[in-house]
Amino acid sequence: MSRELVFVVEPDAGRVTVEISDASKSTIDQLADDLGSGMNLNCASPVQKERSLPVLQPDSDITRPEADGFSIWLYRIYHNSVVDGPGRRSVIQTVGCSIKCRQCLVPQTHSRENGEFVSVSSIVAEVVGQREEHDGVTILGGEPFDQPEAVAELVSRLKHNGFHVTVYSGYTLEQLIQQKLPPIDYILTHIDLLIDGPFISSMSEGAGEYRGSRNQRLIGRML
């Protein structure tokens, strides 16, 4: 397998983002030494080696907090991503994933135990506060469509605020349509870009922008 490193340099902001499709641990350690402290981004990306997933607790064991209007199981929010959709984006990373692709890079997002139940209002307020800093908002996971009602509400409020919205899913578009659920249909007909399909490690080479494996598709607005 060929090894591919893509550097995205933002001279004005003093940031460098490195996309790594396959690299040795020594290469990654060298990059960390050269570039300084950073953070890991992205869902649906390949990992270098087999690794065992942590033992996960079933979500049914979790006591669900009272919802504040609409609330969502959230892993984290981060900003200034240039690998999770077009332009520079704020990213809302949901927690909880029923798909569990083999070799997923973010197994820590599979169980809701690892996240918080957060009001949609507070999430929208944070990305609105960053309005001047990004070109759009990406919702990824975990699996966003495991929380269709809350994510539909989130999409509604983001579009009301005029944001370009990208959503990742480990399901294909066809699988999502087949579910025939109104909140899923709402999401699909109001977002600007869907990046669909599970991460398949054997198809990671040459996956293309924003994607972890070649089976994943960029699907533009459908209405």
Residues that bind ligand SF4 (CB under 6 A): 43-44, 97, 99-101, 104, 106, 109, 141-143, 170, 198-199
In whole angstroms, how close is the CB of 103 to ligand SF4 at the nearest point?
9
Nearer to ligand SF4, 145 or 157 (CB): 145
Q: Tell me how far, at minimum, the Cβ of 100 lies from ligand SF4, in Å.
A: 5
Query: Whole-number minimum distance, CB 179 to ligand SF4, in Å?
Result: 16
Taking the least distance from each CB to ligand SF4, the nearer of 157 and 170 is 170
C-alpha closest to that of 145 among 190, 176, 101: 176
CB 152 within 8 A of CB 180: no
Amino acid 39 reads M
Residue whose CB is nearest to ligand SF4 in the complex, by number: 170
CB of 128 to ligand SF4, least distance (A): 26
d(CA 135, CA 137): 7
Question: Which amino acid would we find at residue 179?
Answer: Q
Nearer to ligand SF4, 104 or 124 (CB): 104
Task: Closer to ligand SF4 by CB, 140 or 157: give it.
Answer: 140
- Give the orientation angle of helix 148-160 with respect to helix 182-190, to 10 degrees: 30
Taking the complex as a whole, how short is the minimal distance between the CB of residue 68 and ligand SF4, in angstroms?
25
Give the DSSP letter string of 135-171.
Answer: SEEEEESS-GGGSHHHHHHHHHHHHHTT--EEEE-SS
143 vs 153 by CB, closer to ligand SF4: 143
For CA atoms 38, 43, 45, 49, give the dihedral sign: positive
